[in-house]
Structure 1
Amino acid sequence: MSFEPTNTIITIVAFLILYWALNKWAFGPLFGIMEKRRQLILEQMNSAESSRKQAEASMAEQKAALDQARQEAYAILEQARTTSTKQADDIVQSAKTEADRLKDNALKDIESEKNKAIAALRSEVGGISVQIASKIIEKQVDEKSQEQIVNQYLKEVGSK
């Protein structure tokens, strides 16, 4: 093999023309497509990162809303317990008040009937005493007869 400078120059020129042609029609579009692909991947990565952050924010909001709903439910339950306890106490108090009122009315009625009975008894005893006295005066009797008359009237009053 011998070294020929013309072959070397032709080879170098052919290589430069091929490089220029490839650079113009092959490498340029190929690098453009690769750059577009790189940009698309970067956009997708940014979009995925943004979606992940939005999902985390949404999950945090949902967790906060769930915690708030739990707190509200607990507050409602506590309020219901308080209200039911108060209502129960009110019902018990009103029942006690009503029972006391009925008891007082019954005691007043009993006292009234007692006073009426005492007044009626006094009236009857007064009438009987007058009758006994008139019988005793009518009959001047001894002490034994007087005792029998009193016992007889007491029996009559007891049977009435």
Structure 2
Amino acid sequence: MSFHWESTVYAIVAFLILYWLLNKYAFGPLFSIMEKRRELVLEQMSAAETARKQAAVQMEEQKQALQEARKEAYDIIEKARATSAKQADDIVQTAKNEAGRLKEEAVRDIESEKGKAIASLRGEVAGMSVAIASKIIEKQIDEKSQEQLINQYLKEVGSK
């Protein structure tokens, strides 16, 4: 086996020409396609990260909106409870006032009727007293007869 330096030079020259042709026509477009692909992947990763951040922000906003809605619902319920309690107190107070008013009217009516009854009774007693006195004067009777007459008139008054 002998070493031929011409073959080695031809091989090196052929290799350099092949490398230059591959670099010009194959590696350049291949590397450019790979670079575009790398940029696309980086862009998609960036877009995915941005979308993830936006989703996280929206999720937080939704949580806050839900929490706010719950708070508003709780406030509405509490206001309704307070309003119903106030209305119930108002109704009870109105009923108490009405009962007190009716009681006062009943007491006034009773007092009025009592006064009328007393006045009527006084009138009757006065009339009877006059009648008794006139009968006593008409009949000058003894003490025993006078007592019987008074008892008889008292019975008449008691029966009326």
Q: Which runs of 5+ in 2 are unaligned?
A: none
Paired with 2:82 and 2:53, the residues of 1 have a C-alpha distance of 43
Give, in angstroms, the shift of residue 158 of structure 1: 1.9
SS in 2 for 1:141: coil
What does residue 47 of structure 1 align with? 47
Q: Kindly provide the CA deviation profile for residues 28-61 of structure 1, in whole angstroms up to 9, marking residues without a partner as x.
A: 1111111111011101110110011011101111
> What residue identity is the alignment partner of 1:4?
H
1:105 corresponds in structure 2 to: 105
1:21 aligned residue: 21
Cα deviations across residues 70-124 of structure 1 (Å, max 9, x unaligned)? 2111211211111111111111111110000000000000000000001100110
Could you say which residue in structure 1 is the equivalent of 2:38? 38
State the distance in 2 between where 1:156 and 1:31 align. 140
Matched, 1:132 2:132: yes
What residue is the counterpart of 1:120 in the other structure? 120
The 2-side partners of 1:159 and 1:70 are apart by 79
Paired letter, 1:123:
G
Q: Give runs of ≥4 in structure 1 deviating > 6 Å.
A: none
* TM, length-normalised to structure 1: 0.96
Post-superposition offset of 1:159? 2.1
- Output the TM-score relative to the length of structure 2: 0.96
1:144 correspondence with 2:116: no
Q: Please, which moves more after superposition, 24-33 or 96-105?
A: 24-33
Corresponding residue for 2:73? 73
Q: How many percent identity over aligned positions?
A: 72
Deviates more, 1:4-13 or 1:48-57: 4-13
CA distance in 1, matches of 2:159, 2:114: 20
RMSD in angstroms over aligned alpha carbons?
0.9
Number of equivalent positions: 160
